Amino acid sequence: MSPGHYLVLSALLFTIGGVGVLVRRNAIVVFMCVELMLNATNLAFVSFARMHGNLDGQLIAFFVMVVAAAEVVVGLAIIMTIFRTRRSSSVDDANLLKY
Amino acid sequence: MIQSIDYAAIAPPLIVAVAAIALLLADAFGASRRVLGLVSLGAVGAALVTVIALALGDRRATFCLTGDLRGNGPPSCSYVTDDFTLIFQGVVLAAALVVVLLSLEEITAAGARLPAGEFHFLLLAAIAGALTLVAARDLVLLVVALETLSLPVFALVALRRYDGVASEAALKLFLVSVISTAVMLFGISLLYGVTGAMHLDRVAPALGRVPGDLEPVAAVGVVMVLAGFAFKVAAVPFHFWAPDVYQGAPLPVTAFLSVVSKAAGFAGLTIVVALGLPAYGHVWGPVLGVLAAVTMTLGNLVALRQRSAIRLLAWSSIAQSGYMLAPLAVGDERLPEAVAATVAYVAIYSVMNIGAFAVVIGFRRRAGAPAAGPAPSWDTLDDYRGLARRNPATAAAMAFFLICLAGLPPGVMGLFAKIVVFRATVAGGATWLAVVMAVNTVIALYYYLAWAARLFAAPSGAAEPPRMPRGAAVRAAIGAAAAGAVVLSVAPQLVLQAAAAIT
Amino acid sequence: MDDYFGSYLVVVVLLLLGCGIVGGGLAANRLLRPHRLTEEKLTTYECGVDPVGEGWAQSYVRYYVFAYLYVVFAVDAVFLFPWATVFAAPGFGTTTLVEMFVFLGFLFTGLVYAGRKGVLSWV
């Protein structure tokens, strides 16, 4: 099993996440797609670390995990406040601010 | 095996971070709003003093690789306080000081609906992130610092709970930010895959000898990393969060976003492209050039038709981002000069823009607009009519900031900043961009001057804004920004020489 | 490469064997048993009590704060794992131990704050 396979998987996951971000309309689902992108990044980091035989990639993967968790908490809290005032979590309904 | 830590070098972010935690605990144990504000102000001031002390002493670096990991390579320090870092830390802290001053009243006022402890904690945490970001010299620290800067800001924007506009602004900021972070991280993973290093002083030489079949991978990585920073500095096409967030957020937070956050973003962008990616100047140079041209043109054209002061400032600050990006469009050709031009422009922009925000915030307060509310009642440009009669000093300061932003004499510092950017752009061979910039400067004159003229026009009469007691803190903030603007207009070489000396 | 996958062969065989036993048992049961349905038999089995309400149940959203706190603190524990592999190794020692407790102290500060703000009290 060469690192190449993992990289292909990582690129696929990243693309799925990216497409999901663009086409889905529910803020929570958009958010899950972002998490998918971040995890794809982690997979890439770890496989590159394996390829190069140094630990920098694994190190940043830890930080990405923690950053992602912090983002989850802040993001869900924001979605929560929106839901409380609006009873909807669709990004299309967020329309108070216009050009 | 254990890295020794140079505590003097990391003192500025350390002071701010420790103060943030102390504030959080103090708030939990019931300290008064006034005390919290003063501690916050004191921490930022103390950090500014340490930055000045560091600037007078030796240049330091810490968190370097230990001997056995380093091999025969460069020292690879993660945190470096060189001239570049110190200039940006000074700019960030000075602007942060004004932001804290501006927030004092909004937070401490009786009946203020913002939680004081959380506000100051989040603000200081974001400042600590900005201070670390400008000193970071490896990609891991850069990402972590960027997130430390971004995450508290989401919460700050959303801090006015049960206000639909603020939550919506926060959601927009948040989604755009996390997506750009993800894209940037994937770019970093590609760069790491190609080079096998995270420290910029190792990435740069490794990128210079990438085998031919991996070059497209490296190029894609470079472009993806740029996307992350383009969001942070609100460059088109990653700009659309800016006007909405500026309008929806509490005003001191808006000032923070448009000055501190943007300055830190530019510092990060400059660090990455100048120290890490010079070998790929032929890739990121043109990309940044196009971004700069589109950003300044769109920003200025949309700013022309804004009627609300905050949204006008938002679009104008997008346009200003374009000017700041322009020198970097030269790629690796005459890069030091371009970096110096960007640094100088960011420093000068920070002074004049924070001043303009200070006046707008003071005006909103004086006009008695509710601190919350979807439609600020005293925010259109026409409300500024006749300000010169009621408050000559404030109006004069505002007019001066606007003229500086437009780049006309007597706002000499804005003029010099533009000239430096022009010179660097032309010298680097991007003449087309200089032409675009010149056209844009003329467009921008219109709306800056139209606003400045309103200040001195006769009051519209019908709706005279009620006079409210003014706070000393806001006046101090306006005064500090105005003093900075006047000093830099009399002696712009202070910034220009410091910026030129960094390379 | 073959060795790598070869070592998983036992797992695959075991998996197939397990599926076979369970599936075979169910199939044999189905063939041997009588098959007469009544309405009583078709209701959902809920410990012998008559089922009440819908399949969907909403829980109180106010518990989400606990979930958030858990996510943050649980994920911060990832830093403990690499630390645990080295802190006892020669060359690290006390400094490394103290550093980790400083980190845990920061996390604890967050918990103290949450506690003081009344987030942790069960309502």
Supply the CATH number for residue A48's domain.
1.10.287.3510
Q: Over range B440-454, report the average pLDDT.
A: 90
- Residue B257 tokens, joined: 């976003």
* Contact predicate B309/B378, CB 8 Å: no
User: Binning pLDDT at 50, 70 and 90, where does residue B369 land?
Assistant: very low
Q: Which of C95, C112, C117 sits opposite B2 (nearest CB)?
A: C95
Query: Mean pLDDT, to the nearest integer, of C37-57?
Result: 75
Quick: pLDDT tens for B237-269: 888 888 889 888 888 899 999 999 999 999 999
Element housing B61 (H / E): strand B60-64
A99 domain residue, yes or no: no
Q: Does C86 touch chain A (CB under 8 A)?
A: no
Least confident span in B29-43, B106-120, B233-247, C18-32: B106-120
pLDDT band at B374 (very low <50, low <70, confident <90, very high): very low
Nearest to B174 by CA among C108, A89, A58: A89
Q: How far is CA B224 from the centre of its chain?
A: 21
Residue C70 to residue C114: CA distance in whole angstroms: 12
Our CA-based measurement puts residue B26 at a distance from the nearest CA of chain C, in whole angstroms, of 9
- State how far the Cα of B163 lies from the Cα of B248, in Å rounded to an integer: 9
Q: Do A65 and C71 touch (CB under 8 A)?
A: no
Quick one: residue B362, left, alpha or beta (phi over 0 = left, psi -120 to 50 = alpha)?
alpha
Kindly report the number of other CB atoms within 10 A of residue B231's CB atom.
Answer: 25
Least confident among A88-92, B16-20, B330-334, B416-420: A88-92
CA gap B278, A86 in Å, rounded: 48
Supply the pLDDT for residue A99.
42
* B chain contacts of residue A60, beta-carbon cutoff 8 Å: 139-140, 143, 188, 192, 198
Contact A69 C79 (CB under 8 A): no
Of B131-140, B156-165, B259-268, B472-481, the one with minimum mean pLDDT is B156-165
The answer to whether residue A58 sits within a structural domain is yes
Decide if B24 and C113 are in contact by the 8 Å CB cutoff.
yes
Contact between A63 and B162 using a beta-carbon 8 Å cutoff:
no
Range of the domain at A83: 3-91
Q: What is the mean pLDDT of residues B310-320?
A: 91
B91: which 2 tokens?
Answer: 């700019």
Q: What is the pLDDT of residue B460?
A: 65
- For chain C, the domains span 2-42, 61-116
Is the confidence at residue B316, as pLDDT, over 50? yes
Distance CA B385, CA B307 (A): 13
Separation in Å, CA of A60 to nearest CA in chain B: 6
pLDDT for B333 equals: 78
Determine, for residues C79 and A1 on separate chains, whether the beta-carbon distance falls below 8 Å. no
Closest by CA position to C67, among listed C123, C120, C105: C120
Does B466 score more than 60 pLDDT? no
CB atoms within 10 A of CB B380: 17
**pLDDT given for residue B270 in this prediction:** 93
Higher-scoring residue by pLDDT: B282, C58? B282
Residues in chain C within 8 Å Cβ distance of B155 = none
Beta bridge partners of C35: none
CA-to-CA distance for B190 and B195, rounded, in angstroms? 9
Searching chain B, which residue's CA lies closest to the CA of residue A13?
B186
Verify whether the Cβ–Cβ distance B182 to A38 is below 8 Å.
yes
Is the pLDDT at B469 greater than 50, yes or no?
no
**Is the per-residue pLDDT at B111 higher than 70?**
no
Residue B30 has a pLDDT of 83
Which residues from B are below 8 Å from A when comparing CB atoms? 139-140, 143-144, 147, 151, 154-155, 158, 161-165, 167-172, 174-175, 178-179, 181-183, 185-186, 188-190, 192-193, 196-198, 243-244, 247-248, 302, 374
Q: Which of A66, A70, A77 sits opposite C78 (nearest CB)?
A: A66
CB contact (8 A) between residue C68 and residue A76: yes
Q: Would the pLDDT of C112 be above 50?
A: yes
Chain A residue whose CA is closest to C2? A1
Residue with tokens 């550093």: C99
Q: Give the helix/strand (H/E) hosting B486.
A: helix B472-490
Whether residue B353 is predicted with pLDDT greater than 90 in this model: the reply is: yes
Q: How confident is the model at residue B45 (pLDDT cuts 50, 70, 90)?
A: very high
Q: pLDDT tier at A96 (50, 70, 90 boundaries)?
A: low
Interchain CB contact of A93 with B (< 8 Å): no
pLDDT value for B68: 73
Higher-pLDDT residue of B196 and B461 is B196
For the cut 70, the answer to whether the pLDDT of residue B370 exceeds it is no
Is 50 exceeded by the pLDDT of residue B426? yes
Give ∠ CA A85-A88-A89 in degrees, rounded to 5.
105
pLDDT value, residue B233: 86
**Measured between alpha carbons, how far is B80 from B64 in angstroms, rounded to an integer?**
9
pLDDT (mean) for B475-501? 86
Residue among B1, B2, B25 minimizing CB distance to C113: B25
CA distance linking residue C10 with residue B420, whole number of Å: 71
Whether the CB of C92 is below 8 Å from some CB of chain A: the reply is: no
Contacts of B441 (CB under 8 A, 6+ apart): B406, B407, B418
The answer to whether residues A54 and B134 touch, using CB atoms and an 8 Å cutoff, is: no
Task: Mean pLDDT check: name the lowest of A76-85, B23-32, C102-111.
Answer: A76-85
Residue of B147, B155, B182 with shortest CB distance to A41:
B182
How many CB atoms within 10 Å of residue B143? 23
Rounded to the nearest 10 degrees, what angle do helices B11-28 and B116-135 cross at?
160
Q: Is B388 helix (H, G, I), strand (E, B) or coil?
A: helix
Residue B406 forms contact with C (CB below 8 Å): no
CB atoms within 10 A of CB B5: 13
d(CA B355, CA B474): 11
**Which ranges in B367-460 belong to alpha helices (H)?**
387-390, 392-406, 412-427, 431-456
**Å from C2 to nearest chain A CA?**
10
The per-residue pLDDT for B494 is: 84
CB nearest A73 (choices: C4, C72, C79): C72
Interface A:B, Cβ pairs < 8 A: 126
More confident residue, C56 or B404: B404
Tell me: pLDDT of B190 over 80.
yes
Q: Write the CA distances from B501 to B86, B330, B438, integer angstroms.
A: 12, 19, 27
Q: Does A86 touch chain B (CB under 8 A)?
A: yes
Using CB atoms, pick whichever of B178, B186, B243 lies closest to residue A71. Answer: B178
Contacts of C82 in chain A (CB under 8 A): 62
Model confidence at B306, pLDDT cuts 50, 70, 90, reads: confident
Mean pLDDT of A60-67: 93
Best mean pLDDT range from A74-78, B372-376, C59-63: A74-78
List the single residue in A65, A73, A77 with the smallest CB-CB distance to C78. Answer: A65
Does B375 score more than 60 pLDDT? no
Against chain B, the chains showing at least 3 CB pairs within 8 Å are A, C
Q: Is residue B468 predicted with pLDDT exceeding 80? A: no
pLDDT of B141 over the 90 cut: yes
Chains near A (3 or more Cβ pairs under 8 Å): B, C
Which has more pLDDT, B51 or B428? B51
**B502 or B48: whose pLDDT is higher?**
B48
CB contact under 8 A, C112 and B25: yes
**Which residues lie closer than 8 Å to B294 by C-beta, 6 or more apart?**
B236, B237, B322
- For residue B234, with 0-12 CB atoms within 10 Å meaning exposed, 13-18 middle and 19 or more buried, which class applies? buried
pLDDT at B109 over 70: no
Residue B349 banded pLDDT, cuts 50, 70, 90? very high
Residue A69 inside a domain? The answer is yes
Please tell me the distance from the alpha carbon of residue A10 to that of residue A15, in angstroms, as a whole number. 9
**Closest residue, chain B, to C107 (C-alpha):** B21
DSSP-assigned letter for residue B172: H
Task: Name which of A29-38, B66-75, B149-158, B309-318 the model is least confident about.
Answer: B66-75
A30-44, B66-80, B240-254: which is most confident: A30-44
Q: What pLDDT sits at residue B272? A: 93
What pLDDT score does B34 carry?
A: 84
The amino acid at residue B318 is: I
Residues of B with CB below 8 A from C71's CB? none
